Amino acid sequence: MEYTSSPKPQLSSRANAFSIAALMSSGKTKDKETEENTIKPLEQFVEKSSCNQSLADLSTLEPHADFSGNTPPICTEPLIPTTPSVPSEEMAKISCSLETKELWDKFHELGTEMIITKSGRRMFPTIRVSFSGVDPDAKYIVLMDIVPVDNKRYRYAYHRSSWLVAGKADPPLPARLYVHPDSPFTGEQLLKQMVSFEKVKLTNNELDQHGHVRI
């Protein structure tokens, strides 16, 4: 009796285009300086909730019009006033690097989206980081914060296949930092292994009591 292997299921062209293999193999990887992959000092790991472009750069942006034909305002002010903190001498020596950065860059280029639920949904891609400059004999608590990049609310325009500004966003929820469940780490551990936030979950439940990150 002869056995014939069944053909492997074929992904549609749309699904195949968003597979990790296709994302990582398509296009040429842009050469970037090592400094772009490193956040130093450690306090800058939590980004400030403000526009990431100067006012001069904003003037060159192409405006996006909504259905009414009006040009939405461009964010020119920080969402939340911030007070710069002066890092300690020990913390200023620590650097944090994002692993699998090429995958993150490709998702950013395509405009990655994620549907979240009240029960919480795990992030993808998973955030994995590595540290340098830590004291091998010291102990460290590793935490993560997610902040909005502006104070706008968006809606999806199907006729343009893009997101458009649809008004001002609701006031941000009180910050909830996600502490890595394996914390505290010794400095020796951080030097030998990368830290993975594979268990972090995002939720839109404002009353969440499970320690998930509220978006």
The full set of domains in the chain, from first to last, is 36-214 (2.60.40.820)
Residue 2 one-letter amino acid: E
**What is the rounded distance in angstroms from the CA atom of residue 139 to the CA atom of residue 203?**
30
Instruction: Spell out the per-residue pLDDT of the chain, length 215, in tens.
Output: 555 555 555 666 655 655 666 666 665 444 444 444 444 444 444 444 334 444 344 344 444 444 445 544 444 444 444 444 666 787 888 999 999 999 999 998 888 888 888 899 998 889 999 999 999 999 999 999 888 888 998 888 989 888 899 999 888 777 778 999 999 999 999 999 999 999 999 888 888 878 888 87
Collapsing DSSP states into helix, strand and coil, what is residue 15? helix
Q: Decide the pairing of beta strands 152-157 and 143-144.
A: unpaired
Whole-model pTM?
0.57
Give the model's pLDDT for residue 49: 38
Beta-ladder partners of 11: none
Instruction: For residue 23, give the H/E element and its range.
Output: helix 20-25
Q: Decide the pairing of beta strands 213-214 and 201-203.
A: parallel
Helices (H), 26-114: 55-58, 89-92, 101-110
